[in-house]
Amino acid sequence: IDPGKEAAISIVYFGDGAASTVDFHSACNFAATLKTPMIFFCRNNGYAISTPVEDQYAGDGIISRAPGYGMAGIRVDGNDLFAVHAAVAKARELALESSAPVMIEAMTYRQGHHSTSDDSSRYRDTDEVQTATDVSDPLVRLSRFLKHFGWIDDNAAASIEDEERIDVLRAMEAAETRPDPKLDTMFQDVYHEKPPHLIRQEEELKRHMKKYNNPHQ
């Protein structure tokens, strides 16, 4: 490591549902055996789309799997901004010191629907969602903390929200004016050298589009 530069590590974010897939196991095993300095950050929000955690695992959450991979693990209140920051900072430090992966499980709650096609009221009580909103919403907790010390007031908070809303809308408008990406980009930035199976798929797609006179390039 160059002492003149800040050392960098990788971090991957996933939910409790993804932790039930074979890709999760493979990634953890490879990272642990290859001594990869990185962080596996699990956002355990209680549901994998409509499947509650009670139907996903019988053990103590996701973090209990870390020792099985020979990996250090940290469980943290995912709704506490400062606790999450401290946990990630410590995990980064440990990953660099040991040249090994570290797992973090942030315990949180998904207040909204999984997607625009999801109606979470079909599989969970609305009172459950409201309780989480009232008690553990991270933005509400942070707002109360800042107001308690007099670092922000209602007017300042409203002004920040308005500014951010406008910035988001402007960013969306700017993104919508950008041209469509080139077709070639669909097959790039995965491998250093494009493997034969991707070359074959790219050629097949181009032949298909030419056959049906699709102008997209």
Q: 137 and 74 in contact (C-beta within 8 Å)?
A: no
Distances (CA, A) of 64 to 140, 166, 194: 30, 42, 38
Give bridge partners of residue 47 from the DSSP assignment.
52
Q: Which of 43, 65, 75, 110 is catalytic?
A: 110
Q: Is 110 a catalytic residue?
A: yes
Q: How buried is 144 (Cβ within 10 angstroms: 0-12 exposed, 13-18 middle, 19+ buried)? A: exposed
Burial string for 16-28 (b: 16+ CB within 10 Å, else e) reads bbbbbeeebeebb
Q: Which of 25, 114, 124, 141 is catalytic?
A: 114
Strand spans (E) along the chain: 10-15, 38-44, 47-48, 51-52, 72-77, 102-107
Q: Which of 123, 165, 170, 200 is catalytic?
A: 123
Give bridge partners of residue 40 from the DSSP assignment.
12, 103
Q: Is 114 a catalytic residue?
A: yes
Active site residues: 110, 114, 123
